[in-house]
Amino acid sequence: MSNGPQFAFAFRSGSWQAPSDFAEVDAAAANADFLWVHLDLGDAAAQAWLHARPWPADVIEIVAAPIQRGKLFITSELIYGHLRDFRDLSGTAGLQAGSVSVVVSQRLLITGRRIRLRSIGELQRRVKTQTVRPANPYALIMEFLKALNDIGEGLLQEADERLKSIESRVLKRIGAAHHEEILEMRRDSIEIVRDMTYKRTALLDLAREQPSIFPAREYERLSHQIHRYSALVDDAQEFADRCQFVLEELRAQVEEKTNRNLYILTAFSAILLPATLVASIWGMNVGGLPFSDSPDGFLVVCGLIAATSIAIVLLLFRFKFF
């Protein structure tokens, strides 16, 4: 168990310090302009610190569990709820969703997660390198949305290039081995569309309500990021539809191959039907069978089978069965 947040920044007069434990975070709160504290919600110390905040129990309950889709909730002093991010796990690629808890006030931004997330990591990098100089916690939220859109667009572009390569192989009929990969890509993109649609609605509600605690100067940036976010959701849906098209093409190729095999099997069955019928008749152990007493009977029957089979083959070619 750790004794501190995953990371924290205490901003003051355009610069920042990084408290290393919760005691330093609490001490910095008295002098800082505002703080950003990022928690690992799987850590008991982080949960204890979060539950010690002077907020209503329902606020803490929602923020402590980053698994809900719901809306962003607004009170006179807080905006809290959940946003979506992209997972940052080794060995995984593409569009995989993760949830980040958020609670923001005039002087404090708390984010939390249980698994590593890409956009939060990128926001941390931008703050550390002073690529961004946030003036308040809400500006950090806007930068998070910008990082989310930047990363989402990049991941979607990578996935699209990979799908194009697979699609080209499938259309050349050499891509059957990619069936499971395409299924996984489609599954991930559908999950992204479903989860991010919830969050798009929450952001649109926030922009429409325009709560007084949200700085008016940030609404233009919020509208711009919501527009990008909506486009990202639409692009992810289009990507899922393209995956479905490739899957349907693969299924059509399998069905075509199966039908072709059945076609060939049917043709051979028709060709061999006379031989089967003649062999069955002459295989009956009863008296009166033609040629049963003839020394050339076997050759005669074989000739009859061959002639009948050749006649059927000629008929098949005549009616363009082959």
- Give yes or no for a contact between 176 and 252, defined as CB atoms under 8 angstroms apart: no
Whole-Å CA distances, 109 to 112, 140, 144? 10, 8, 12
- What pLDDT is attached to residue 107? 93
Which stretches of the chain score pLDDT less than 50? 1
CA nearest to 88, candidates 101, 72, 70, 100: 100
Helical H segments across 172-218, by residue range: 179-209
pLDDT of residue 66: 66
Other C-beta atoms lying within 10 Å of the C-beta of residue 261: 10
Token code pair at residue 17: 């310090």
**CATH 1.20.58 residue window(s) in the chain:** 258-318
DSSP reduced 3-state for 38: strand
In this structure, which CATH number among 3.40.190.10, 3.30.460.20, 2.60.120.10, 2.40.160.60 belongs to the domain 7-254? 3.30.460.20
Give the pLDDT of residue 68: 60
Rg for the chain, CA atoms, rounded: 34
pLDDT attached to residue 241: 93
DSSP E strands, 105-228: 108-113
pTM of the model: 0.78
The Cα angle at residue 298 between residues 292 and 300, in degrees rounded to 5: 95
Choosing among 1.20.1070, 1.20.58, 1.10.260, 1.10.3470, the CATH entry for 258-318 is: 1.20.58
| Tens digit of each residue's pLDDT (9 = 90 or more) over 85-131 | 888 866 555 677 788 899 999 999 999 998 889 999 999 999 999 99
CA distance 97 to 151: 12
CATH 3.30.460.20 boundaries in the chain: 7-254
